[in-house]
Amino acid sequence: MTMRPVCSAVTLLVALAGPLAAQGGDWTTYGGNDWNQRWSTLKQINTGNVASLVPRKIFQTGIARLGSFENTPIVQNGVMYVTTPYNTAMAYDLNTNKELWRYDHKLGTTIFCCGPNNRGVAIHAGAHVYMGTLDAHLVALDAKTGEVLWDKEVADPTFGYSITHAPLVVGDNIIVGVSGGEYGIRGHVTAYSAGSGDQVWRWYSIPAPKGDPTFDDKAPNGWFGTWATKAENADLHRDIAKEKADSAKFADSWQRGGGGVWMTPAYDKESNSLYVTVGNPSPDLDGSVR
């Protein structure tokens, strides 16, 4: 397969004339709502006219570096916020077709695994925009100017940590996870204060044993979890007795067990519950060392 640098662009396909920032047309979270349902109330595009859509506006991002464009734009009050590979964030006025501002994150040392993609930003109170970066930072920007308000290192990128997903706003907290299971990270989700950037709490996807400062006595079945012998009714051919006997040799494996959280969590306001999907264990690139 031949890979070529491509200049990223955002294309808007619209069927009807009129302002792009229509009433009810805001899309203020990565998944469309806190549940990540990706459902829209808009009815301008339907089964009767979808085949006749044509481009009305094309925004050239100017990013010519190789990378997949995986961003979901955020739209609020007629402004669209877009991110690109390698962590450039931009704001466009959808009524004037003009770029309002651009922020290029200066990446530090990073060894991200699987492409320089970014899936988008979060917006809080219409005033602040938040982006996770490939060098595992969480950056807060002024929504009107793109000025950096604060920049926090979520985890050490030299150990393989990175952030590719769009953060999630829950109240006055910004929720963000980490990627890097390929490099032996310890996955976690962290909440930061939207205003100050101070860390509010952190939850680890790989539980710690008793005695460690991050030990959680609510973790089910202790830090070893459940010894599964089947998956989808398939025998895993595991020697559980031997694994348990050998486990003492790997007593510190929880520190690098992987379990990154590289997609935006969902939130249920009624129960005040956060739903998190956990990714691959570590190491996962070479099955012989698992």
The neighbouring-strand residues paired with 103 are: 89
**Per-domain residue ranges for the chain?**
60-223+255-275
The neighbouring-strand residues paired with 10 are: 59
Domain 60-223+255-275 CATH assignment equals 2.40.128.630: yes
Torsion angle defined by CA atoms of residues 206, 209, 212 and 213, in that order, rounded to the nearest 10 degrees: 60
Per-residue burial over 166-176, b = 16 or more CB atoms within 10 Å of its CB, e = otherwise? bbbbbeebbbb
Q: Residues with Cβ < 8 Å from 214, sequence gap 6 or more?
A: 202, 204, 208
Burial classification of residue 3, based on how many CB atoms lie within 10 Å of its CB (0-12 exposed, 13-18 middle, 19 or more buried): exposed
| Of 147 and 41, more confident | 147
Torsion sign (Cα): 57, 61, 64, 68: negative
- Give the span between the Cα atoms of 73 and 89, in whole angstroms: 10
Q: Residues with Cβ < 8 Å from 4, sequence gap 6 or more?
A: 66
User: For residue 56, how far is the Cα from the chain centroid?
Assistant: 29
Structure tokens at 106: 């200066």
Predicted confidence (pLDDT) per residue in 159-195, tens digit? 999 999 999 999 999 999 999 988 889 999 999 999 9
Predicted confidence (pLDDT) per residue in 70-112, tens digit? 999 999 999 999 999 999 999 999 999 999 999 999 998 888 8
Lowest mean pLDDT among 26-30, 36-40, 90-94, 228-232: 228-232
Assign 24 a pLDDT band (cuts: 50, 70, 90).
low
pTM of the model: 0.84
